[in-house]
Amino acid sequence: MRLAPLPRPRLAVWSAVGLFLLALGATVGLLLKSTHGDALGESEARVTRFVTGAQAGMNRTLLAFDVLLATTEELLELATSNRDHFDRARASELLRTAARQNLMLRYVALLDGQGRLLASSIPRGDPQAVELPPGFLAAAMAPTVPTLAMSAPQLSTASSERVLYVARPLRLGDGTQLLALAQVPVDALVPVLMQGLSMSDLEVTLERGRGEMLIGVAAQQSLVERTQAAGPPLGDAGGIAADSWGGSARLSGAPAMVSARPLLYPDLWITASLPRGAALAAWEEEARSMALVALLFGASVVLAGIFATLYLQRMHGARQVAARSKATLDQALSSMVSGFVLLDADHCLVQWNQRFEEMFPWLQGMLAVGLPFRRVLETTVHYNLPGMSAEDKRAWIEQRLQQQRSAQGTFEQRLPSGRYLQLTERATPEGGLVIVYHDVTDLRRAAAEIENLAFYDPLTGLPNRRLLLDRLGQACTAEMREGTLGAVLFIDLDHFKTLNDSMGHEVGDQLLQQVARRLEGCVRGSDMVARLGGDEFVVMLLGLPGDSDTAAEQVRRVGEKIVHLLAQPFHLGRQTHHGSCSMGATLFGEVLQTAAEVLKQADIAMYQVKAQRGNALCFFDPGMQVALNERARLASDLQAALPAGQFLLYLQPQCTRDGAIVGAEALLRWRHPVRGLVPPAQFIGVAEDSDLIVAIGHWVLRSACAILARWAQEPGLGGLSLSVNVSARQFRQADFVELVTQALQASGARAHRLELELTESLVLEDVQDSIAKMHQLRTKGVRFAVDDFGTGYSSLAYLTRLPLHRLKIDRSFVHHLGERHSDNVVVQTILGMARNLELEVVAEGVETEAQRDFLSDHGCDVYQGYLFGRPMPVDALEALLAPLGQ
């Protein structure tokens, strides 16, 4: 709807704005004019004060020079001397004494009429020539009445500085005319001339009446080398009668206030010039600020006029907008998803919406404007609290009415249907009340679901790690406070990965769910069962006796019950699974511990069981932690061992029955800077638990190839083979074949002299991959042997599919040959099978001649053990074989 124009109010507003701007402009103009005059007057007074002070200072200085030169005649007793009997040495000494009285003088000298030096205060050895400006000698000696004369400035060749000369004529007793002369550095007169000047833009000069410039100091007290002043000569104008702003600066020539004062000595003037721009610089800055403030103020007035006009226009249509707003409000209330009720100051109904009636269907038909809200509550209470007594219902109504009187915020109410309403009550300015009913049932359900996802395992429904650590932390504090103990059982399912890989993750999930149900059935309601992830579960037992032995016995019984229960068959669909578990236990509550510390102790104890093939219970022992810390330190040292070159290879010879060395096995040793020589049994397991074993294995392989390449060049060593053990992690690397090939090519070693030893378990882990890699390397000449053969208890059918060259009988069978019949049979079987498959056999751990004889009688080819030689450094083995090559 278009609004009618408002010409009169608008005209009045803009007329007032115009008058205010005119008044503001006039005020600012008058103020600027007044401050302009004040700025010029203040600058003029400062210049006048300065030039008067500079005049007095320079007069005192020149008078001191004049007195010094005048007293020279008396000091040197010139009136009683003549030219022929003039003592120059004595005169020079006296002049030096006189020169010391005035520190501004470089030296004092006595010249004759031709300018020859008669005496000087200049020390002996210094240059004695006096360089006067042209014409100065004649001008200084010309006056009939002796007076002080000052030269034009010139550059001194002795000191490389600008100097002035002051002189006064004297006479000897015989009438010979002399000249007393003093040299004054220009820099020494500048401080006298400036007199502590604080006006940085002031130009100060010392000049003659003809305009000849003697000293000129420009802004920032910098000397100006000029010979003539910029303004008119002062002598022609008879001096400046009054200080004024009509002149030109004596140095820059800019319009300025010039103040000149004559000195005591004829034709010498001192002037001070302040450029008009410098005098008005502060005023101009102030003027700009005032103009900016006035402009901003004027703009504010204009904006105020604009806002006033807009305000009047808005007020013109406010009533029509209010009418439309009421219609819009009624429409919005009817479309709200929340229930709405408006009460007046007496808490009677004024307005409500359709959603409110839908939430409370029992109120339909009774709602009316002016109905007391108490009546609404009296009807509602019978539906909200159907089983409560009349007294409880009245108390509920009074409580609701009390809440309305305070109207402090939001609270929830549960309906008989199970839904939740969030009530928000706000007081109105008129003393009434607005109540909004919002259905938050879906929000409550979502919050509960989020909490369940955050604190519970979605697969088993058990508490997860987060909730367990929270409850365990609370239990640690509570058990210690109450004098009781608690326990944590850390459970890991044995061979769960094998089940997952062979039967699929769906079957594995079924097993985890059944394990969770069995664990819940083993504990009390006050205890807790949680799943940490994967196949790891934790049982937390609370309220155990304060005596640790008694508590440990109870924990042991519960743990053994769990071990037995989890050993019972699991029915997974159509299949039956027989499983077991490894369990670590620890007590808490005797000392204050964190939840993470308790859980770590149980975890360590569980891994102790794992190391012993599982299916048992083990309590935490502090020694386990010590061993774990030692293992961690060993792992840390291993990180630096390879870059530091701490690994080395030992070789154990492999011999025939008669002792001839046909090869050797490369055995890794670690020369630790502190621990000394560390055997592989102490660090190989640590290396295999990380990727370090891969890098170490590559180093061993490259080192072995380098040894074979060197042996190929030595007589008696070229026919030896070298066996290298390969770890499972190293063999499973995708680039294993490439790395072996690169090591052979880089070293130049003969491939058929390199033998790689693999364990049965490594080969059977992935038979197809093993066969493929072995065939690729076999085509290049590399030979393979199965290490520790007979300990894997696996099917021997794979032997016919693998490109093998040797079998190595494990030392555990060799050690008891002739003592245990079973070991004799196993060794005979291996030798017979190898002979039928045309494979060589190496027996490890041969320590006695009886063992050698038994093996030889049954067809063993090669022997390795202490009977033939211990592991030794490479150079030791080479030295042992050296005689054979000579």
pLDDT of residue 534: 87
Residue 431 belongs to a domain: yes
- Domain with residue 826: its CATH number is 3.20.20.450
**489 and 441 both lie in a single domain:** no
Cα(410)–Cα(436) distance, integer angstroms? 9
**737 and 669 both lie in a single domain:** yes
- What percent of the chain clears pLDDT 70, i.e. is strictly above it? 89
Range from 2-6, 516-520, 743-747 carrying the lowest mean pLDDT: 2-6
pLDDT of residue 239: 47
Q: How confident is the model at residue 291 (pLDDT cuts 50, 70, 90)?
A: confident
Q: Residue 315: how many CB atoms within 10 A of its CB? A: 12
Adjacent-strand bridge partners of 482: none
Q: How confident is the model at residue 86 (pLDDT cuts 50, 70, 90)?
A: confident
3-state secondary structure of 474: helix
**751 and 798 both lie in a single domain:** yes
Q: How confident is the model at residue 513 (pLDDT cuts 50, 70, 90)?
A: very high
Residue 558 belongs to a domain: yes
> 441: domain range?
336-445
pLDDT of residue 710: 93
**511 and 371 both lie in a single domain:** no
Burial readout 838-869 (b: 16 or more C-beta within 10 A, e: otherwise): ebbbbbbbbeeeebbebbbebebbbbbbebbb
Residue 518 belongs to a domain: yes
Q: Is 273 exposed, middle or buried (0-12, 13-18, 19+ CB in 10 A)?
A: buried
Averaged confidence pLDDT in the chain = 82
pLDDT of residue 842: 93
Residue 21 belongs to a domain: no
Q: What is the per-residue pLDDT across 456-500, written as a single tens digit (0 to 9) for each?
A: 888 888 999 999 999 999 988 888 888 889 999 999 998 888 888
Instruction: Quickly list DSSP for 391-431.
Output: HHHHHHHHHHHHHHHH--SEEEEE-TTS-EEEEEEEE-TTS
Q: What is the per-residue pLDDT across 348-371, written as a single tens digit (0 to 9) for each?
A: 888 788 777 777 777 777 888 888
Mean pLDDT of 739-751: 92
Range from 95-104, 228-237, 518-527 carrying the lowest mean pLDDT: 228-237
CB 407 within 8 Å of CB 389: no
Mean pLDDT of 83-104: 82
Q: Is 684 exposed, middle or buried (0-12, 13-18, 19+ CB in 10 A)?
A: middle
Domain end point (choices 166, 183, 200): 183
Cα(321)–Cα(856) distance, integer angstroms? 116
Taking 70 as the threshold, does the pLDDT of residue 733 lie above it?
Answer: yes
Mean pLDDT of 218-243: 66
Residue 296 belongs to a domain: no
HSE of 228, CA atoms in CB hemisphere, 13 A:
5
Helical axes 622-641 vs 692-711, angle rounded to 10° = 50
Question: How many domains in the chain?
Answer: 4
**413 and 466 both lie in a single domain:** no
Taking 90 as the threshold, does the pLDDT of residue 741 lie above it?
Answer: yes
CA-based nearest residue to 489, from 550, 551, 567: 551
Taking 50 as the threshold, does the pLDDT of residue 803 lie above it?
Answer: yes
**361 and 470 both lie in a single domain:** no
CA-based nearest residue to 537, from 458, 468, 588, 471: 468
Cα(841)–Cα(762) distance, integer angstroms? 19
Helical axes 7-75 vs 281-335, angle rounded to 10° = 150
Range from 237-251, 409-423, 506-520, 847-861 carrying the lowest mean pLDDT: 237-251
Taking 60 as the threshold, does the pLDDT of residue 772 lie above it?
Answer: yes
Residue carrying the six token digits 């090939």: 741
Residue 4 per-residue DSSP state: P
pLDDT of residue 707: 93
Taking 70 as the threshold, does the pLDDT of residue 238 lie above it?
Answer: no
**433 and 499 both lie in a single domain:** no
pLDDT of residue 417: 67
Mean pLDDT of 390-411: 75
Mean pLDDT of 217-241: 67
Taking 90 as the threshold, does the pLDDT of residue 15 lie above it?
Answer: no
pLDDT of residue 863: 94
The more confident residue out of 712 and 417 is: 712
**474 and 509 both lie in a single domain:** yes
Instruction: Show the tokens assigned to 592.
Output: 């204050």
Range from 92-96, 397-401, 534-538 carrying the lowest mean pLDDT: 397-401
Cα(61)–Cα(533) distance, integer angstroms? 101
**750 and 796 both lie in a single domain:** yes
Mean pLDDT of 683-695: 80
**671 and 808 both lie in a single domain:** yes
pLDDT of residue 2: 45
Taking 70 as the threshold, does the pLDDT of residue 94 lie above it?
Answer: yes
Residue 70 belongs to a domain: no
Q: What is the per-residue pLDDT across 527-548, written as a single tens digit (0 to 9) for each?
A: 999 998 888 999 999 989 888 8
Q: How confident is the model at residue 331 (pLDDT cuts 50, 70, 90)?
A: low
Q: Taking the model in full, what pTM does it have?
A: 0.42
Residue 30 belongs to a domain: no
Q: How confident is the model at residue 793 (pLDDT cuts 50, 70, 90)?
A: very low
Helical axes 465-482 vs 595-611, angle rounded to 10° = 110
Q: What is the per-residue pLDDT across 814-836, written as a single tens digit (0 to 9) for each?
A: 888 878 888 888 888 888 888 88
- Domain with residue 152: its CATH number is 3.30.450.20
CB 165 within 8 Å of CB 183: yes
Taking 70 as the threshold, does the pLDDT of residue 211 lie above it?
Answer: yes
3-state secondary structure of 619: strand
